[in-house]
Amino acid sequence: MTAVLDAAQVAALRDAVACIERWPAGSHVWGHYAERTAHGPAICRTENVSVCHPFVASIVDGVLRDVASGAIGEPVVAFKDKVNYKQPGGAGFSPHQDVVAYPGAARVVSILVAVDACTLTSGCLWLADGVTEVLPTDERGAVRDDVSRSLTYAPAPLEPGEAVCIDGFAPHYSEANRSSSARRVLVASYAPVSAGYTRADYYAARAATMDEASARDGRFRISTLADFEGAEVTPDAVARGACTHPVVSSGGAPSTP
């Protein structure tokens, strides 16, 4: 864990995330998702945010890319980014490996930067070191329970502006937010430039995979894997007025690519 953003950048990122969070659920072509919590529906994830917000693009293709390039050891390109919000009562994610979730990407690294404090209570990331291969998965694409129990996970608490680097093979998970404050993070994922893997490649594969999986499983998804432990609110339910929490229904519509 290391600080990658200064105070001014943290303030600018918070402003950007607050703006994006006010978009109506389901309004962003690449995904702006809500979940049900004990406190009411709440936005839980926005995909591909850098194409819609210039400040997010500036750090995804700037300081965070530099961190990822240093981790991989060669020039990298950002093929994906997202904001995970995890409002009070928001759900966590089961243990999984990023490389399994990114169809066509053989070598990846993700940089998770904290917008808010990420604590044990608010649902910080937990990581297992020393894994260098794809582990057996269950029907959701998550690391199989018996395999996950054999690993040793360590928490990665973060202060705003601090980041953690996640290798594509590193199993990781997060728990529900049991605090009274949001635990928002920006996650940007990178592949070596030499691999020729692009943002267009990833999001095309993601759309096809999610459509097929949602139809097969009869459950709307917010990610390629079914590792999200919350109850998603489908965009059509939002349109019918089933989702009325202010963070879902207020704000202007986003620009889309």
Per-residue pLDDT 10s for the chain (257 aa) are 689 999 999 999 999 999 999 888 777 888 888 898 888 888 999 999 999 899 999 999 999 999 999 999 999 999 999 999 999 999 999 999 999 988 788 899 999 999 999 999 999 999 999 999 999 999 888 999 999 999 999 999 999 999 999 999 999 999 999 999 999 999 999 999 999 999 998 888 888 887 787 677 766 677 878 888 888 876 554 444 333 322 322 233 344 43
Give the span between the Cα atoms of 59 and 88, in whole angstroms: 27
Give the span between the Cα atoms of 150 and 127, in whole angstroms: 13
Contact 190, 109 (CB under 8 A): yes
Which architecture, in CATH terms, is 2-249? Sandwich (2.60)
Alpha-carbon distance values, 60 to 14, 79, 155 (Å): 15, 10, 24
The structural domains of the chain, with segments of one domain joined by +, span 2-249
* Token reading at 115: 């917008």
Instruction: Select from 101, 85, 35 the least CA-distant residue to 186.
Output: 85
| pTM, 2 dp | 0.88
User: Residue 31: exposed, middle, or buried by beta-carbon count in 10 A (0-12, 13-18, 19+)?
Assistant: buried
State the DSSP string of 73-130.
TS-EEEEEEEEE---TT---EEEE-HHHHSTT-SS-EEEEEESS-B-TTTT-EEEE--
Q: What is the separation of C-alpha 165 from the centre of its chain, rounded to a whole number of angstroms?
A: 13
